Structure 1
Amino acid sequence: MNTKPNSINPIVTHRVQPMGFLKVAAISGLVTVVAVGLAYDQKATEYKPPVSIPNVTPSTYTVDALTLTSETSGKAVIKLDSFLVLVSFDFESHPDSYGVSGSEFTAVDITNLAIEKITDVNGQEWNDFTDYNDHRMINQVIVGYIERNKLVEAAQ
């Protein structure tokens, strides 16, 4: 036989030591944790209250007075934040229900809204500064006021 009994075969004689890999992984993990711990600023963050930006703060809308001048129109005084807004509006009414018997009511839809005058609480007049969202919300509070107080009745 021509085989040498003490041949160097790396598969047979040199095993990979699993403990060596674990030692390297543990040491590199420890170094990473120490580096992150030293780099972290441990000073507590200071509380800063949120800034209120006027364009983001929601407005409040309430009906101060409302009169119906005819069967399809009316006038209202709406309190928009600290301003009084005099509006005139046209509306349509129609019977509606929630789909079950006994839930019939008169639904109201605003078809036209006009801003007549805007004053502050001291009576000083202002130019019209309302936008689409203000008009939409004014329509909703007027409709809610008319339906809640049952100011109109639709013909069945």
Structure 2
Amino acid sequence: MEKHGSANWKGGLKDGKGLVSTQSGHLSDRPYGFNTRFEGQGGTNPEELVGAAHASCFAMALSMILGEAGMTPENIDATSTVYLEEVDDGFAVTRVHLDVEAQIPGADAAKFLEAAETAKVNCPISKLLAGAEITMDAALV
């Protein structure tokens, strides 16, 4: 399986502007730039896109693992917070934190937490982020 995203950038780092798109077209020519990444202005940025990819990958992996354990979730809400920090040689994603809340009728809390931990370690995007510390808070609601 191959999927791609694309970006176009025009100008210098601080005054330049970019557009980011996905193969599916659901994200198409969305603006990004220094101001959206470092100054909190409207538009997207690479870290929130990675966070969305991680949260969605984790939720799917958790659903699969829960199903294998005989638990069917009614709902999984996952958020992945990506931390971009300045380090000695520039900027790096140093850590990622997953917050997950799941509604699973009749679920065993210990089995749920075990499944969440397995999903955290084994979803493909977690593996991609292996250089960063990945932490998690998980709860049944």
TM-score over 0.5 for the pair: no
> Higher Cα Rg: structure 1 or 2?
1
TM-score for both structures, normalised by structure 2: 0.32
**Structure number with higher relative contact order (C-alpha < 8 Å, ≥ 6 residues apart):** 2
The structure where helix makes up a greater share of residues is 2
The structure where strand makes up a greater share of residues is 2
